[in-house]
Structure 1
């Protein structure tokens, strides 16, 4: 099989980069520091300023994410990047402070509550179809379209009915924050303490203040004027209580978690959809099969609903395969708290343990033809080894919104494929680049023709 018959991928390094080379490469694309050998080995270790280990071995990953969770907290680099915006929320907190928040928030993401929010997803899918139709049969940046659709969903499930909520301003503030703060600095790679100023982050202060002010206003308004009807995410978090301690979230904790869900909840699903549509345009045979499935399930031109999900197994497999090839959280890092052994390697306290999900999902020891687009590899999920597929992480800290994201992605993707044929635009191939998430540099430009 030639490289031309494979979807786009990140060119991984074949020679050691050194500290300065690693820094330069990481600021352009974090994934470009992954050695190509990481797709063919269970573990790779080295030293760039400090000792690091890349882990692609499912048994070792089980140790990090499940069996010794508290020994491998999120790295200081990760926390330093995100804490200014989302405080000590679920994504950043550790230990007991994380556990009580997780218990308090978990009911909000129960199957029943996620299903109840599906009509908002269907409405956003319908709006996206209408915008694409109105744009005419021209090339469109489908990534921009999906960001708009998923932000519509997340703002409706968090701030529904709040007329004072400025969606565009909040969206701009979030984008500015991600763009300005998510670039790894040399100070981070050298392990400099928090109090040393990071220039990139100083400029992001205004965007963070704006985001927090919007969320605080919405929480205070909802506390004084409760909604009627189906509870949205803000209602569910306001009523959330840790069943063990009876503790509830104060305004700052509510705000930080709300911002976590808004930032993570729309960015990652938009990326999943953009990459899924790129892959469908790349493989017209699979796209045609998915379209037939969607049209049979949806019947008329109405958007997909939660009730349609069981009739859309291929579209769900396309979402899963997109998350394998282009996981939004494509590289995670942890800091070892004590000496350990992972996959036969000595781990010292303070070592950086890197979970390169991108390399794990393309590891030749775990996947057949790992760089090919083959949704049917998910036909029988029992054949996929646990901890070899981690788009949402695993163990106790598995993404709390995973079922929400999957439901949203399948509803929107089915609705679009039922109505449009997507084809690539020559000379506009996206390039996978990870800064904070795995984004398509240059956008995902596709032609959308009504069917």
Structure 2
């Protein structure tokens, strides 16, 4: 669909303007119904979710979600796995930044955040004993999460790396026993899921969990550090509560998951507009987050707005979605972003250089091409 196009940022900005000029949902040129109202969005995601095909961005095989039982178990186990690791105290952020920087101490946008988050969540993704699986995870992050979902290189030609990596995951998972105790990592999690899932099915679920864990969080970390440097949060005295507000404002202005798509399961209406079975409904998170009707100076970076957000602002804030399809690990993602953002902005001097001014939009909404230089203050 629209992901095969170039220059998606201009499309997003045009849709935001159309949303501002239109009262209610409207159809885009390719027929998809676009929603930029928080109440209508919540109606689709929660209030009348039965009117749409069951959907999950993480727990699905191809475009088909796994059963409700498996999704419930997987969500519960994902939260438990993350909770079992004291990632904050175990992570060496200085070593990670050194490894990811070039010889001029520069971190390349659209890549470094994912690399750092891959290292941060490494114990929760796959234990060190899973040598082959960890190598495959690294290949998948480089060749698919970065090259496809962020940069978009692979969109216009056959994508050969993902099936090969998935086959490698399946072969490794086939050789491992199901853990009898509680899951310690995502490998244990997918192995222990109930139901008649083949090794290839479990491999695909592992890939999607890696994408959700490192892709979305890594790109948001890049935005947090970039905006923190540009707007005065890059100082030794910055407080955790300031970074918390900065993270929330970053996810408002540049929601990594910039759209949520649902497919109608039956004929019905949304805010007075008829929707027919099989039609796509696109919820523009970016447009909802930039509505002048809800946000004062919506295009400005203003973290202080989160000190006393209004009820309308709370209802209109949907960076992780809502309802059954909501990201189950959003609490841990926020915790990681706040912790790492504080560490980096407090302990490093920062410099940003942008080759382009516009954000880069593919599957994820990423910072413009360019680099950030971090120099330790110690």
Please report the TM-score for the alignment, with normalisation by the length of structure 2.
0.84
Q: Distance in 2 between matches of 1:121 and 1:329?
A: 28
Q: Quick one: structure 1 residues 388 and 106, their matched pair in 2 at CA, closer, same or farther if it must change by over 3 Å?
A: same
Map of 2:143 onto structure 1: 173
Q: Quick one: structure 1 residues 354 and 135, their matched pair in 2 at CA, closer, same or farther if it must change by over 3 Å?
A: closer
Alignment of structure 1 residues 138-157 onto 2, 5 Å: 138-157=105-124
Q: Distance in 2 between matches of 1:74 and 1:432?
A: 31
Residue 149 of structure 1 aligns to a residue in which SS? helix
- The question of whether the paired residues in 2 share the 8 Å contact of 1:121 and 1:411 is answered with no
- The question of whether the paired residues in 2 share the 8 Å contact of 1:55 and 1:61 is answered with yes
Residue 318 of structure 1 aligns to a residue in which SS? helix
Q: 1:236 aligns with which of 178, 184, 189?
A: 189
Residue 28 of structure 1 pairs with residue 6 of structure 2: yes
Q: Distance in 1 between matches of 2:181 and 2:112?
A: 31
Residue 362 of structure 1 pairs with residue 340 of structure 2: no
Q: 2:37 aligns with which of 57, 61, 77?
A: 57
- The question of whether the paired residues in 1 share the 8 Å contact of 2:320 and 2:327 is answered with yes
Map of 1:117 onto structure 2: 85
Q: Distance in 2 between matches of 1:430 and 1:153?
A: 29
Q: 2:207 aligns with which of 259, 265, 278?
A: 259
Give the superposition deviation at 1:345: 2.5
Map of 1:352 onto structure 2: 280
Q: 1:73 aligns with which of 21, 41, 53?
A: 53
Residue 448 of structure 1 aligns to a residue in which SS? strand
Give the superposition deviation at 1:176: 4.4
Q: How many residues align?
A: 369
Q: Distance in 1 between matches of 2:115 and 2:131?
A: 18
Map of 1:268 onto structure 2: 216
Q: Quick one: structure 1 residues 219 and 227, their matched pair in 2 at CA, closer, same or farther if it must change by over 3 Å?
A: farther
Give the superposition deviation at 1:330: 0.7
Residue 48 of structure 1 aligns to a residue in which SS? coil
Q: Distance in 2 between matches of 1:182 and 1:399?
A: 25
Give the superposition deviation at 1:40: 5.5
Q: Quick one: structure 1 residues 31 and 442, their matched pair in 2 at CA, closer, same or farther if it must change by over 3 Å?
A: closer
Give the superposition deviation at 1:116: 2.4
Q: Quick one: structure 1 residues 270 and 117, their matched pair in 2 at CA, closer, same or farther if it must change by over 3 Å?
A: same
Q: Distance in 2 between matches of 1:272 and 1:326?
A: 8
Cα deviation 1:2-47 (Å, max 9, x = unaligned): xxxxxxxxxxxxxxxxxxxx96x96013343343132455534135
Q: 1:279 aligns with which of 223, 227, 247?
A: 227
Q: Which runs of 5+ in 1 are unaligned?
A: 1-21, 184-199, 242-246, 295-311
Question: Considering only aligned residues, what root-mean-square deviation do their CA atoms show, in Å?
Answer: 3.3
Q: Quick one: structure 1 residues 119 and 428, their matched pair in 2 at CA, closer, same or farther if it must change by over 3 Å?
A: same
Residue 60 of structure 2 aligns to a residue in which SS? coil
Q: Distance in 1 between matches of 2:327 and 2:242?
A: 23
- The question of whether the paired residues in 1 share the 8 Å contact of 2:256 and 2:364 is answered with yes
Structure with greater Cα Rg: 1
Q: Quick one: structure 1 residues 103 and 47, their matched pair in 2 at CA, closer, same or farther if it must change by over 3 Å?
A: closer
Q: Distance in 2 between matches of 1:158 and 1:63?
A: 34
Q: 1:434 aligns with which of 352, 361, 365?
A: 361
- The question of whether the paired residues in 2 share the 8 Å contact of 1:74 and 1:92 is answered with no
Give the superposition deviation at 1:138: 4.5
